[in-house]
Amino acid sequence: MTNGLREMFDDFHHYFPGNSDEIRVYFAPGRVNLIGEHTDYNGGYVLPTALSLGTYMLVRLRQDGKYQLRSLNFKDHPVNFDEEQLVFKKEDDWGNYPKGIIKELMKESASLKGADILYYGTIPNAAGLSSSASIGMVTAFGLASLVGHPTDRQALAFLCQRMENHFIGVNTGILDQFAVGLCEKDYALFLNCDTLEKEKVALKLGNYKLVITNTNKRRGLADSKYNERLQECREALKVLQEVNPAWKTLSDISIEAFERHQSRLASIPKARARHVITENARVLDAVKALKVSDLKTFGELMKQSHRSLRDDYEVTGQELDALFDTQRQMAGCIGTRMTGAGFGGCTISIVDANTLDVFKETVSRKYNQQTGLEATFYICETGNGVREITEEVVS
């Protein structure tokens, strides 16, 4: 990344002339959730890993209360504001995420007095790989570090979640922020989103690769049916709590208990609850499989997850299903599923390295025939969580 950082420094000086010695560089990864979808806000289990893709931030503090933000991904869309103007503005688009983070940090009495910030993201935008959590976490960690504010990654993950919930207006769970903040290279993070108990699980892929396939159908989480699904799950839980008030989330309910009492539910809440409850069981089975290096079983659980998201949770859609139906039949692909909130975005597949070229060519051709869209493929490495970059910095 040395050459890329040198170019970022050149761009930073173009936008923000001044002292090079005061510029610091931070990075936050994107994440892909291997299994455990739409369980996080239902108090369930997830299994994400961080990616080598992510968001770079070059920053230099100011003392005049002014914030000047630029993104190399949106060069024609600068965002400038004073510390008194920390309000959501639709026209600020991507800039609302760092703006909301700055507001949350100032609520915690962080001694911020302005900043010049340049971002560059290698995560496909709106693809379901947590570009929003990545820009949020890199902003929170970087600015907190610079002003001596606490940088506990778990606490910052909650700060970022609050920002998305209250400033952006999306009822996200904690999965994305925890993964971006806490994951480690070559490991997945097994997380109980209710108790926040977590465990590193080794991700031993051998000759297999993680392949992310982008549908290139743009999706906006705030505009999707995400909040609708949240409400449907709440409806299901409310009815089931009449049986057992001790059930605080859908994830407290076993498959056996659900099967005994599902007749109480209307068809749509029943289907949503069935997905959540069975998906939690799949995550537990997936962790067991990884611990004994049983990738074939892990891959089968991924396929089951997609079918449940398609049939019970109804968050896939034509594009994701087209990819899934082709990918699951490809030689060398032992597991595949949609990942993220759905309604577009990406699939995650586990593919034998020796079959990658055929995999990409065939999936690309069939997907285009079925949808008219061009798929994009990312052969991904796992990565570490949010951090400062020092060894690669060149001014």
Residues designated as active site: 176
- Angle at the Cα of 383 from the Cα atoms of 282 and 227, rounded to 5 degrees: 50
What are the tokens at 196? Answer: 């926040």
Sequence-separated (6 or more) residues with CB below 8 Å from residue 320: 215, 306, 310, 338, 342, 344, 345, 347
**69: β partners:** 79, 117
Exposed/middle/buried for residue 98 (C-beta within 10 Å: 0-12, 13-18, 19+): buried
- E strand or H helix at 143: helix 131-146
- Decide: helix, strand or coil at residue 116: strand
- Exposure letters 294-309 (e unless 16+ CB within 10 A, then b): ebebbbbbbbbbbebb
- Give the distance, in angstroms, between the CA of residue 203 and the centroid of all CA atoms in the same chain: 18
In the chain, how many H helices and how many E strands?
11, 12
List all residues 6 or more positions away from 266 whose beta carbon is below 8 Å from its beta carbon. Answer: none
Give the position of tokens 């089951």.
Answer: 304
Cα gap 26→389, rounded to integer Å = 5
> What is the distance between the alpha carbons of residues 351 and 303, in angstroms, rounded to a whole number?
13
Using CB atoms within 10 A of its CB, is residue 371 exposed (0-12), middle (13-18) or buried (19+)?
A: middle
Separation between Cα atoms, residue 58 and residue 3, nearest integer Å: 15
Half-sphere exposure of 139 (CA within 13 A, CB side): 35
Nearest CA to 380 among 220, 238, 195, 185?
185
Contact 308, 279 (CB under 8 A): yes
d(CA 67, CA 380): 34
